[in-house]
Amino acid sequence: MGYTDEPRQCIVDGAQALFHGWADVEKPNIEDGKQVGRWKNVAAVIEFRSGEVKIVKPTDVRFLDGYDRFSRYDWGEADA
């Protein structure tokens, strides 16, 4: 899908990490021991301070720069 020019600071499972981008993930869908299709989803590419890189669910990522990023946009009436 895409990677960021500059990694974003985030927290994943209570650990400091860097978000590098989104990735499409495909896995076989197995029923009764046979592949019956493919399962597709989006995942986050995360780098931990240890240097370990993991693919995690988007819901596991909490970005730390959210308020600064949202202030760049004019939200009009919804800004209240």
Q: What is 3-16 written as a DSSP string?
A: EEEEEEEEEETTEE
Per the structure, the complete domain to which residue 56 belongs is given by 2-29+36-73
Give the pLDDT confidence score for residue 76 in this predicted structure. 80
Q: What is the pLDDT of residues 13-26, one digit of tens each?
A: 999 999 999 999 98
Instruction: Extract the tokens encoding 47.
Output: 């780098």
For the chain, which residues score pLDDT lower than 70? 1-4, 78-80
| 8 lies in some domain | yes
Q: How far apart are CA 23 and CA 1, in angstroms?
A: 5
Give the pLDDT confidence score for residue 27 in this predicted structure. 84
The answer to pTM > 0.75 is no
Number of structural domains found in the chain: 1
Give the pLDDT confidence score for residue 3 in this predicted structure. 64
Give the pLDDT confidence score for residue 1 in this predicted structure. 56
| 79 lies in some domain | no
| 78 lies in some domain | no
